[in-house]
Amino acid sequence: MAAEHITVTVIDDHPAVVAGIEAWYSRHDPPIQVLASGNSARAAWMPPGDTADVVVLDLLLSPDHPECFADLRRLVEAGKRVVVYTMREDEQVALTCLELGAFTFLTKAEGQQHLIEATLAAADDRPYVPPALAGALAADTGPTRPQLSAREQEVLIEWFQNESKQLVAQRIGITVRTVNTYLDRVRLKYANVGRPAPTKAALVVRAVQDGIVALDEL
């Protein structure tokens, strides 16, 4: 999808931030289109925002509003690819967002280039770990690690580094069905130790936390 027309819904309560994001996206080649924006998650549920490829979500939508973790959870459960873009910089908030299924976590201090790269990666279902998130992952000691076989790790890393399961199957010399079987086993093992990883982005987080793959390998 990276070479195709990418659409975004922006959820942020600061008009200046929304305008800045729209300007950044418009200057990209090809331009990224903001279909809708708003100060609540409703923008991602109502037309035309409900059809966007990516949702960019601020966690704090008003001074007296708690973090929008519930909104994030609902968006992820509905199959939305959510890039959290927020002023919050603490590591636990970043890890919580990933636990809930966010595609990636960015601080607003990380600016234009990282937001664009994260949006492109989300639209193309590719892992993207910006600096703040890398720091949170490095600092996280994490709970018990599941025991993955060498073959499971190989399939997992190939999937992170390739655009499709078909390519993974071709590179390793197995069928797509077998690739899915290995990935299902990995997800089950993580779920069994209380660390579910329902999405590709979540599996990337787990693999980085557990030393299965390094950030510079993604």
The 10s digit of each residue's pLDDT in 92-114 is 888 888 878 888 899 999 989 99
| Residue 6 · residue 54 · CB < 8 Å | yes
The CA-based angle 182-147-133, given to 5 degrees, is 85
Whole-number pLDDT of residue 2: 46
Q: Where are the domains of the chain?
A: 7-139, 150-217
- Whether the pLDDT of residue 64 is over 70: the answer is no
Whole-number pLDDT of residue 1: 44
Residue where the block lists tokens 């200057």: 27
- Whether the pLDDT of residue 57 is over 90: the answer is yes
d(CA 196, CA 190): 5
| Residue 55 · residue 83 · CB < 8 Å | yes
- CATH second-level architecture of 7-139? 3-Layer(aba) Sandwich (3.40)
State the chain's mean pLDDT as an integer.
87
pLDDT band at 63 (very low <50, low <70, confident <90, very high): low
pLDDT for 143-187, tens place per residue? 568 888 889 999 999 999 888 899 999 999 999 999 998 998 898
pLDDT for 204-214, tens place per residue? 888 888 888 88
With pLDDT > 70 as the criterion, what percentage of the chain qualifies?
Answer: 93
d(CA 114, CA 110): 6
Give the pairing of strands 54-57 and 7-11.
parallel
d(CA 129, CA 106): 9
Q: Which fold has domain 150-217?
A: Arc Repressor Mutant, subunit A (1.10.10)
